[in-house]
Amino acid sequence: MKRPFESTQTDYTAATGRSETTPWLQHTRWAELFRNRSLEIIAATAKLPASQWSRKYLLGQWQGLDFWSSAEIEAQLQAILRGLDLMFDRTRATLDRTPYISRCWLNTYAKDAFWPHGFRVIPSFKKYLAIWKRFICFVFRALQYPSRQRKEVYNLRLGSNEIKMMQHILYLVGQLQLGEDGNVSDSSDSEGDESYGQDWHDECEIPSDLENSDTDQDFDTSTDEDEEVGRDQTSDSKGSDFSLPNGNWLRLSEALFQLSMMFWTYQDPAGNMSSSTIIYFTAVMGIRQQSLAFHSAHNSTSELAGLIWIGRLLFLEYALPVYSYSTLVYEWPRRDHYPSQPDRLDAIRKKYLIRGCYTPFGEIIELKAFAKSIVKREGIPGNLSWDPDGKSFIIGHDI
């Protein structure tokens, strides 16, 4: 609820300057990343498209002019989202067929300290999948603009290999739109996903069970918390009836997985992970949809935990897929190809998934740890915050 004082004219620059004084924003440097850029456009670019949307989408105002996402890209996103559903169905089938001990190691931050809580699908997993869908929508919308304009509007740089892979994906989408492999919207799994008219960063959207469940060891690698061992020795059997899609749907889902892993396996030669597109997106997630202010450390931990969950799911598929990836330029072998599956998982985990590694996943671990340290030191914030106009305040959550 907004309480006005004198004026509701918004001064985003002034609001950003004030918020930079918090330890959280001094650490993340989000305000610096987006300085003199439209937070409205950046936040809108990360929204999921409305179901069956086929019109151009107004992102906001840039230099006094309307800034649009084209009708063509909005239609393409419908097929891409369907391809992501197929991709995640496959990763879940892999998770369902992975032994409990392997899932515990996957869920362990430390290099050698075993944590007896198996990584698993939790009831609200669709909310976590939606985070990655929004990331993919964001990069494909940004791709439609020339590189110079991407820099001016978003301060975003996409790598040449990533761009080539995204262009290949758009080619596959074009083949599907020609009707070669059936209707794009068939079996679309969009239940519970927000669209243009809704705020995707409402704190209620990512429930607290992710932050407090066995998906978050809170950097405590002790083994005395074994309440999950008896309950989670085996995962559910939902993956047992999974079958691979056909034709261009298979090609699209496998290409989207390859693109996803290009983002997740990114490593900067200097070890500076701020150049990672995924780390860039953590700043996009930090923008409040309505007020266009930045989220506090407390309100950022759930989204970061969601990205960690997605990262683990995709890295398991990367390390030990049940099915080989046969439509890629270089076929990615299934898990039976490896003489020792535990050794294969261990090699991938130590390279990409533990504390201190120079990867997007390692950076997100540290971001979340820093956020939680602020919450422990300062406590949970109250529900009163300034609006960016500097003359109003908000009572309750910004929704």
Judged by phi (left if over 0) then psi (alpha if -120 to 50, else beta), residue 52 lies in: left
Using the predicted structure, report yes or no on whether residue 212 has a pLDDT greater than 60.
no
**pLDDT number for residue 269:** 92
Q: Which residues of 323-356 are buried (b: 16+ CB within 10 A; e: fewer)?
A: bebebeeeebeebeeeeebeebbbebbebbbbee
Q: State which amino acid sits at residue 73.
A: I
Q: pLDDT by residue (tens digit) across 122-165?
A: 888 899 999 999 999 999 999 999 999 999 999 999 999 999 99
Percent of the chain with pLDDT over 70: 74
Specify the 3-state DSSP secondary structure of 209. helix
Using the predicted structure, report yes or no on whether residue 397 has a pLDDT greater than 70.
no
| Selection from 7, 32, 6, 12 nearest residue 21 by Cα | 32
Q: pLDDT by residue (tens digit) across 160-203?
A: 999 999 999 999 999 999 986 655 444 444 444 445 444 333 33
**pLDDT number for residue 197:** 41
**pLDDT number for residue 210:** 43
Residue 8's pLDDT band (cuts 50, 70, 90): very low
Residue 354's pLDDT band (cuts 50, 70, 90): very high
- Rank 228-232, 334-338, 389-393 by mean pLDDT and report only the highest: 334-338
Residue 21's pLDDT band (cuts 50, 70, 90): confident
Q: pLDDT by residue (tens digit) across 107-122?
A: 999 999 999 999 999 8
- Quote the longest CA-to-CA distance of the chain: 71
Question: If you ran DSSP here, which 8-state letter would residue 54 be given?
Answer: -
For the chain, first and last CA: distance in Å?
A: 9
Using the predicted structure, report yes or no on whether residue 363 has a pLDDT greater than 90.
yes
- Ordered alpha helix ranges (H), the chain: 12-19, 23-28, 30-33, 39-45, 71-96, 100-106, 125-143, 147-154, 160-177, 209-212, 247-264, 277-285, 297-319, 341-352, 360-378
**pLDDT number for residue 161:** 97
Q: What DSSP line would sit under 271-336, residue for residue?
A: --GGG-HHHHHHHHHTB-TTT-PBPPHHHHHHHHHHHHHHHHHHHHHHHS-SS-B-SSSSPBPPGG
Would you say 307 and 278 are in contact if contact means Cβ atoms under 8 Å apart? yes
Higher pLDDT, 392 or 95: 95
**pLDDT number for residue 387:** 56
Residue 304's pLDDT band (cuts 50, 70, 90): very high
Cα separation of 209 and 301, whole Å? 12
| Selection from 304, 285, 310 nearest residue 295 by Cα | 285
Using the predicted structure, report yes or no on whether residue 220 has a pLDDT greater than 50.
no
Q: What is the mean pLDDT of residues 320-335?
A: 96
**pLDDT number for residue 217:** 58
Provide the whole-model pTM. Answer: 0.83
> Which of 1-5, 14-18, 103-107, 138-142 bottoms out in mean pLDDT, i.e. has the lowest?
1-5
Q: State which amino acid sits at residue 251.
A: R
